[in-house]
Amino acid sequence: MKPRATAAAGTGRTADGTEVPAGEDGPRTARDGGTRESGTRDGSDGQREAGGSAVARARGGRSGTPAEGGGRPASGAPAEGITWRHRLRRDRTLVLMTLPAIALLLVFNYIPLLGNIVAFQNYDVYDLGITGSPFVGFDNFTRIFDDYRFWEVLINTLVIFLTQLILFFPIPIAIALLVNSMMSTRVRAWVQAIVYLPHFFSWVLVVTVFQQMFGGAGLVAQWLREHGHEGFDLMTNPGFFKFLVTAQAVWKDAGWGVIVFLAALAAVNTDLYEAAAVDGAGRWRRMWHVTLPALRPVIALLLVLRVGSALNLDFEQILLQRDQVGAGASEILDTYIWWTGIKTGDFGYAAAAGIFKGMFSVAMVLGANKVAHMLGEQGVYSKK
């Protein structure tokens, strides 16, 4: 039988009955292979007490007593939470990756904003510069509001924008629904690639293709003349210009919108389609009650962004065709600023018109986002 030591009231007793202090032979005997019954009971009681205090701390939340020993949590994070220094050390690789993009944004988007000071100056780019040009206050803005030609150009810009919004915006949605309904993955990939390919074409190439197709000497006009009909020239028709630029925008950029809506359709739960099919819903019912409601947030977001860029029509596209149809039908705000400001050297007037354009765009974004909130959508930012 193995010797056993029993700890009682600070003393230990060996097998032969001799009492020794608890911190000397007794504990050593226990460590050498013996067991202490009272020590086991004390350890069990201590574990129960520790467990009880842990439960109390868990129920009491953060207001409980701190853990004994003062050590950090097991995750290694500080007790008061993760600070910005810990986040910076943790995400330093991602921060370094974004630094070039932030630098480009500062150089080409934010630092040039300081040049808007010329809108309040009689700016002389050749002799005086920004530091030497005299301040004239809001005289350049007064000239804008008194210029009837400016308001004609603004109305023409909005008319072209509304035409594109009505005729162009629904087309990517329709193409995305059509491509998504195709059963063959290979056919779907081919259609998506063909539709998306013109997005990489420059506006020079796009205008050239339309000139070769719908110009006075284009393929369509020549085919009509060969069959005894009178030809036409859509490229020089001022009344048709807004529809012409809309058709060019559809051919060039519809594929980009298709990709955005296809990504949204990929996130739709297929169980909804199966449940609708079990309930007897056909193809059109499933599209109306499942697909379109899933696309509503994306449609609302893109519509708000589109409305915010109402005055940001494609400058290069319009400028390439400005001389063919005349300034009366093709002049937009960007080309007007370029012609009256930069072309004639009136930089103060051009800068004032640019500021007006930016403020108008911000107002359009806020208004469209408010309408999106009224319709129950999130828009650009969520409603607080």
pLDDT at 244 (0 to 100): 92
d(C-alpha 192, C-alpha 172), whole Å = 11
pLDDT at 155 (0 to 100): 93
pLDDT at 247 (0 to 100): 93
Is the backbone of residue 268 left (phi > 0), alpha (psi -120 to 50) or beta? Answer: beta
With a threshold of 0.75, does the pTM exceed it? no
Summarize pLDDT for 104-116 with one digit per residue, the tens: 999 998 998 888 8
Which stretches in the chain have pLDDT values below 50? 1-12, 14-16, 20-77, 79
Summarize pLDDT for 281-311 with one digit per residue, the tens: 888 888 888 888 888 888 888 888 888 888 8
Summarize pLDDT for 34-55 with one digit per residue, the tens: 444 444 444 444 444 444 444 3
pLDDT at 384 (0 to 100): 61
pLDDT at 241 (0 to 100): 92
